């Protein structure tokens, strides 16, 4: 589980400030501590929803508006590593390149491979 926590933190740390609303700057450090300390998948899924709910509208693909509601609902019932990692991958794959660091574009493939360890 700790590895998935780290992968979530890695994704968030590669978002630029343009990706998130202003209030996220105040919440971010506490959120990161919560993610690091999370010991169950339900809590991690809740923190994933919190991150996404602090995204700017332009941080995600236009299609996201249509799937977001069901994605949030799935997060609320997620209880396994597979489900949470799949939901994190879905969010990441709908995040636009404009709001991630240049480093993310280089490291993404490795990150995705690590994520798939939880799904297979």
d(CA 26, CA 34): 14
In the predicted structure, residue 2 carries a pLDDT above the cut 80: no
With tokens 């992968």, the residue in question is: 7
Tokens of 61: 């693909």
For residue range 22-56, list pLDDT tens digits in order.
999 999 999 999 999 999 999 999 999 999 999 99
Q: How far is CA 102 from the centre of its chain?
A: 17
Answer whether 3's CB lies under 8 Å from 115's CB.
no
Tokens of 55: 């995204």
Closest CA to 34 of 44, 20, 49: 44
pLDDT value of position 39: 93
Answer whether 1's CB lies under 8 Å from 79's CB.
no
**66 phi, psi to nearest 5 deg:** -80, -30
The structure's pTM equals 0.95
SS3 of residue 21 by DSSP? coil
* Banded pLDDT at 1 (limits 50, 70, 90): low
């Amino acid at each position: 589980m700790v590895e998935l926590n780290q992968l979530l933190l890695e994704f968030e740390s590669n978002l630029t400030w343009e990706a998130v609303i202003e209030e996220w700057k105040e919440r971010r450090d506490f959120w990161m501590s919560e993610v690091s300390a999370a010991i169950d998948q339900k809590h991690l899924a809740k923190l994933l929803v919190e991150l996404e709910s602090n995204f700017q509208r332009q941080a995600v693909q236009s299609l996201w508006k249509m799937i977001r509601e069901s994605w949030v609902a799935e997060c609320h019932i997620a209880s396994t590593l597979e489900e949470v990692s799949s939901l994190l991958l879905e969010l990441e794959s709908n995040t636009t390149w404009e709001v991630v660091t240049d480093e993310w574009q280089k490291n993404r493939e490795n990150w995705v491979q690590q994520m798939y360890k939880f799904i297979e």
